[in-house]
Structure 1
Amino acid sequence: MAADFAWMRRAAYSEAMPAAPRIAAASLFSPEDWAPFQQRSAWIGPLLVLHCWAAIVAAVVVGVVWPWLIPLSIMIIGTRQLGLAILMHEAAHGGLSPNPRLNDFLGHWLCAVPVGASLRAYRPYHLSHHKYAQQPEDPDLPLSTPFPVTRASLRRKLVRDLTGQTFFKQRVLFALKAFRDARDEDLAEGAVVTGKSVAPFLLVNAGLLAVCIVAGAWWAWLVLWLLPMATWFPMVTRLRNIAEHACVEGSSHDAFRAARTTRANWLARALIAPYWVNFHAEHHLFMHVPCWRLPDLHYALHARPEGARMEVADGYAQVLKRATSRA
């Protein structure tokens, strides 16, 4: 790893031995085999940010020109809003650019702020999640401990997402300090990444609204930006959270089972899991590997005997079946 990001390692591991189990790359890979996974790129991260925004703009244009395709545009835009959050996550690990200032600028202003997040608030929170993954100190534990649930319970959660109730709790109640229950799975992650960036969020969204007004489609901001953020984005975020950690046996004591990887076809990548977020087991094993190298890391790990211990689901339907196994 570049020396510029050594401070992030210190921030994650300086206080004590991490509570979550760890595995050293040297125990699995030779220096030559591991070297490609340590390399940072000066251009891939910025291109991913550009790709995300290009997909959003294209989906907005499609919805404006062909209004009957607005439902599809909402799904695509909501998933790319999740994509912005995922690229913010990448920036939290220093993966968008080997230049720390550029990494943080891209991660905060072009990824986090437009969806109501704060890279500065998210980074220490998320590194704490890695340090204590699936331990009592893990701040994301409320996202996985309720599962498995009944199908009716999951339906209620998804209805809350798709009707804007989760959005209201995360973006309004938390911002007004009216909700303080840290055990609520709707707020465990959402609150910390959405409640501390209100002014920049409003400023950037005012700019997006102004662009829509100048383009002669003021309603596009409401229907093709805010509506996806209030509906599809919370829903796919929940599905991602369930898939990553829920119902993984041995996750608290086996580094290879700290998280789940979910196989995703092109449709799942377009509507649920952008930017390789589905390779979460690999990410928890080696959190500084850039997201675009996670597929190669997946195959490299499964070429070794230890890879058989990792939790891999064949798709999101299989994950949800397991997550709703409670009678």
Structure 2
Amino acid sequence: MNADALAAALAADRARADARLEGLFGAREAPAPRLEAAMRHGVLVGGKRLRPLLVYAAGRALGADDAHLDAPAVAIELIHAYSLVHDDLPAMDDDDLRRGQPTVHRAYDEATAILAGDALQSLAFEVIAASAHPRLAAMIVTLAEAAGRDGMVAGQALDLAAVGGHPDVEALATMHAHKTGALIRAAVRLGGLAAVAEEDPRLAALEAYARAIGLAFQIHDDVLDVIGDTATLGKASGADAARDKLTYPSLLGLAGARQRAAGLVEEAVAALAPLGEAGQPLAALARYMIERDH
């Protein structure tokens, strides 16, 4: 898939995901309008929609219809949005800017941001539970495990505990495998489950792919924090160094971090071999992980 074809495909899938996210808020009469506005701010103001893109690409690679992919795509983006709202709070990363806009606690207030994150999380499970897919139970477990104490939340706890410390590359990889990688793996698995049974061996290929791109994505994020600018990133550049956070560039240097990310992308592409031509969009997405500028 060439660059123009990939850009068009990504734009179409982003638009599809955005339309379905917008539909959750649309003409609804909310009992708590300020909460509703904060939720909208947290999920509808910008975003790469990477996780929905992965749901669509993985599902199509195994033969799923788009209609069966919408609910998991929306659900995982809601979980991601909730995590960003909470991560930005003063008790966590204390960020003022997200996606080029004030963070939710800055645009509203801290208490409203906490509630908005809570509500986005529960809405994710409402959306996926209402989809009535034949493998719904497996999908719900996948999403819950990725979001919770063995996944993303554990990763955030490890990240906070590591500030100012000196863990090695292996410890950093473990932290990122939970904080960032868990939702990326879940996105790919959800797409696969929308198409095939849990016993299908192609899910193992998707898992290997997802593990590699999850870490590559985070390493490139670390690189962008060093070389990017605030206007392009949509958030403050240099924030990791300012908080004394351990990153791949700080441990491996910029060149070493980039080399590690490129190697992971090649691992991801190789893992897709059992999918044949159907895996090409996923391969293109893997390369996009380390070519993006934000």
Answer yes or no: same fold by TM over 0.5.
no
TM-score, length basis structure 1: 0.32
TM-score, length basis structure 2: 0.35
Quick check: which one's helix share is greater?
2
